[in-house]
Amino acid sequence: MTAVAAPPLASPTTTAPAAVSKDVVPGVIIGLAAAYLTMPFAQATGGRDSWALTKAAVVVLVALLAAKPWQRLRVGTLALAVAVALAALTVCLVTPPGWFGATRASSYGVGAGAFIAVASYARSVRRAYLIGAIVAAAGAVQFCWSFVAWWGGRDQSIPMVGTFYWHNQYAAFLLAPALIALTLLVNHRPPWRLVGWVVAPLAVAGVVYSSSRGGLGILIGGWLLIGVLAFRVKPNRGALVRWLAASVLAAGVTLAISGPPFFASSSSPFASTEARASAGGTADASSSYRVQMWHEAVIVFDHHPVAGVGYGALESTAAKLTPANWPRSPLAHNDYLQALAEGGLLLGVPFLAACAAIGVGLLRGLRSRARRRVLDVRTGLIVGAGALMAHAAIDFDWTYPALFTLAAIVSAAAIAPALRRPDHPTPRADVRHPARPRVRVALVAVLAIAIGAGGIAGHRGGLQLGIKSPGTIATTGAGIG
C-alpha cells in the first residue's frame, strides 16, 4: 500500500494576516467613507456646494467596491436601490426642468449607494458599533462647527444653524448622533461609552439652541423611548441610572453654554425659540403653513401623477393650481410628498416602497429588542433612524444631500441583519436560481453607473430654501419651523 502524505497544516502565522486583512481593509474603507459622508460632506453647505455630490459619489463607489454587496445582500434589496437611483435620473429626462435638477437626482443615487454599502458591511454588532460611533462623532463635530460661529455672534437669541445654515436641518442632523450616543453610554461598553458621554450632551444642547420645535419634540420622544428600554433591559446593571445621569448631564451642559464663561451674562436656552415666536414664528403658524404646503404638494401630484413636475418646479406649478393667497415654496416640507410632487409615481413608487420597507424593518427590530430586553448600539441606530424619518415628514431635510445620506447610513446599519443573504443556501436553491449571482453583480453595476452619472450631472450643486427676500420669509414659510 502506498502511503499518502497528509497535506501540510496551514501555519497560523501565514493565514492570520490574510484573515485579518480580509475583514479590516473593507472596514477601514467603509469607515472612512461613512466619516467623509457625515463630516466633510455635511460641511459643504449640507452637501449642496459645487462638486460636493461628485466627490461623494466617488466615495460611495469606492465603498460599494469594498463592501461587495453582490455577495452579501438579497436581490430584492439591490433591485429596489437600483430602481430609486434610476427613477431619480429618469425624472430629469421626462420633465421640463430637465438636468437643472440633476443635484436632486444625484442625491437619491448617492443615498441608495451609501445604504447598500453600509448594509453590506454592518451585519454584526461589532461592525454596527463602528458605524454608530462615527455617526455620533459627526454630531459632535457638527456641534463644534456651529458653536464657534454662534458664540462669536455674542447673542444667545440667535439660533444655531451649523453647516446647513438653517436651524431645522441642523437639529435634524443631530437627532441620530444624540440618540445613538445615549445608547452607547447606557450600554456601557468600552471604549464606545466614552463617545456616548461626550456626544450626547453636546447634541442635545445643539438641538435646543437650534430653536427647532419639531426636532426637540422628536428628540424628547426618542430619549424617553430609550429610557423605557433601559428600565427593561436584562441584566439591568445600572442602565437606568446611566440614562438618568445622561439626562441630568445633558440638561446641565445645555444650561451652561449660554452663560459665563462663554457669555457675559446668562440667558435661557430657549431664548432663540422665544425670539422667533415673538417675530410671528409660533407653533400654530408653523403647523398651518406646513399643512398648506402638504396640500399644495398633493394637488400638484394629482395633476401630474405619472412623472411629476420635475425638481424645483413645485412652486411654479402650484401657483397655477392653487389660490393666489396661498404661501409659495419649492419645498413641500415633507420629503415623501416632495418625491411624489417632483417625480410622480415614477419616483414615488420605488422611493416610498424603500422607505416603507425600512420603516417595517425598524419596527421589527425595535420590537425584537424590546421583547428580548436588549439595548445596544443597534437599538440606538433603530431609534435614530426612526427619528430622522419622522422629521423628514415635517420638513425638507432630504433636499440636503448630506442629511439624506446620513439617514441612509443610519437606516442601513439599523436593519442590516435583516437584509443579508442566507450564509448557506441549500443546494436545491442553488439549482433553482443558478443565475442569481450574475443578477446581483449586474444590479450593483447598474447602481454604480447611475451613481457615477448622477455625480457628474449634479456637479453644480445648488441651494434652494424658498426665500424670496428678507421681507417675505414668513410668506414662503422658510423661516417657520
What local confidence, expressed as pLDDT, does residue 4 receive?
47
Which of the four pLDDT bands, split at 50, 70 and 90, describes residue 12? very low
**Domain positions in the chain:** 28-420+433-476
What local confidence, expressed as pLDDT, does residue 464 receive?
47
Q: How far is CA 36 from the centre of its chain?
A: 14
Mean pLDDT of the 24-35 span: 94
| Helix, strand, coil shares, percent, the chain, to 5 | 75, 0, 25
Query: Is the sign of the CA dihedral 108, 110, 115, 117 positive or negative?
Result: positive
Please answer whether residues 294 and 316 qualify as being in contact, where contact means their C-beta atoms are separated by less than 8 angstroms.
no
Which of the four pLDDT bands, split at 50, 70 and 90, describes residue 236? confident
Letter for the amino acid at 205? Answer: A
What local confidence, expressed as pLDDT, does residue 237 receive?
81
What local confidence, expressed as pLDDT, does residue 282 receive?
62
pLDDT at 477 over 50: no
pLDDT at 13 over 70: no
Please provide residue 420's backbone torsions phi and psi, each rounded to the nearest 5 degrees.
-75, 155
Q: How far apart are CA 269 and CA 249, in angstroms?
A: 15
Enumerate the β-bridge partners of residue 420. Answer: 73
Q: How far apart are CA 228 and CA 216, in angstroms?
A: 18
What local confidence, expressed as pLDDT, does residue 15 receive?
45
- How many alpha carbons fall within 13 Å on the CB side of residue 325? 0
Contacts of 245 (CB under 8 A, 6+ apart): none
Q: How far apart are CA 329 and CA 207, in angstroms?
A: 25
Q: How far apart are CA 322 and CA 307, in angstroms?
A: 20
Q: How many CB atoms lie within 10 A of CB 429?
A: 11
pLDDT at 56 over 90: yes
What local confidence, expressed as pLDDT, does residue 474 receive?
34
What SS3 string covers the chain?
A: CCCCCCCCCCCHHHHHHHHHHHHHHHHHHHHHHHHHHHCHHHHCHHHCCCCHHHHHHHHHHHHHHHHCHHHHECHHHHHHHHHHHHHHHHHHHHCCCHHHHHHHHHHHHHHHHHHHHHHHHCCCHHHHHHHHHHHHHHHHHHHHHHHHHHHHCCCCCCCCCHHHCCHHHHHHHHHHHHHHHHHHHHHCCCCHHHHHHHHHHHHHHHHHHHCCHHHHHHHHHHHHHHHHHHHHCCCCCCHHHHHHHHHHHHHHHHHHCCCCCCCCCCCCCCHHHHHHHHCCCCHHHHHHHHHHHHHHHHHHHHHCCCCCCCCCCHHHHHHHHCCCCCCCCCCCCCHHHHHHHHHHHHHHHHHHHHHHHHHHHHHHHHHHHHHHCCCCHHHHHHHHHHHHHHHHCCCCHHHCHHHHHHHHHHHHHHHHHHHECCCCCCHHHHHHCCCHHHHHHHHHHHHHHHHHHHHHHCCCCCCCCCCCCHHHHHHHCCCCC
The owner of cell 455672534 is: 153
Residue count of the chain: 481
Which of the four pLDDT bands, split at 50, 70 and 90, describes residue 284? low
Lowest mean pLDDT: which of 302-316, 346-360, 423-437? 423-437
Please provide residue 73's backbone torsions phi and psi, each rounded to the nearest 5 degrees.
-105, 160
Please answer whether residues 212 and 172 qualify as being in contact, where contact means their C-beta atoms are separated by less than 8 angstroms.
yes
Q: How far apart are CA 47 and CA 462, in angstroms?
A: 9
pLDDT at 16 over 90: no
144-195: per-residue pLDDT in tens?
999 999 999 999 999 999 999 999 999 999 999 999 999 999 999 999 999 9
Comparing 168 with 425, the larger pLDDT belongs to 168
Q: How far apart are CA 80 and CA 348, in angstroms?
A: 12
What local confidence, expressed as pLDDT, does residue 460 receive?
85
**Strand, coil or helix: 467:** coil
Letter for the amino acid at 87? Answer: A
452-470: per-residue pLDDT in tens?
999 999 988 865 444 333 3
Give the pTM: 0.90
377-405: per-residue pLDDT in tens?
999 999 999 999 999 999 999 999 999 99
Q: How far apart are CA 116 and CA 348, in angstroms?
A: 19
Q: How far apart are CA 135 and CA 411, in angstroms?
A: 12
Which segments of 163-212 does DSSP mark as H helices, in order?
Answer: 167-187, 192-210
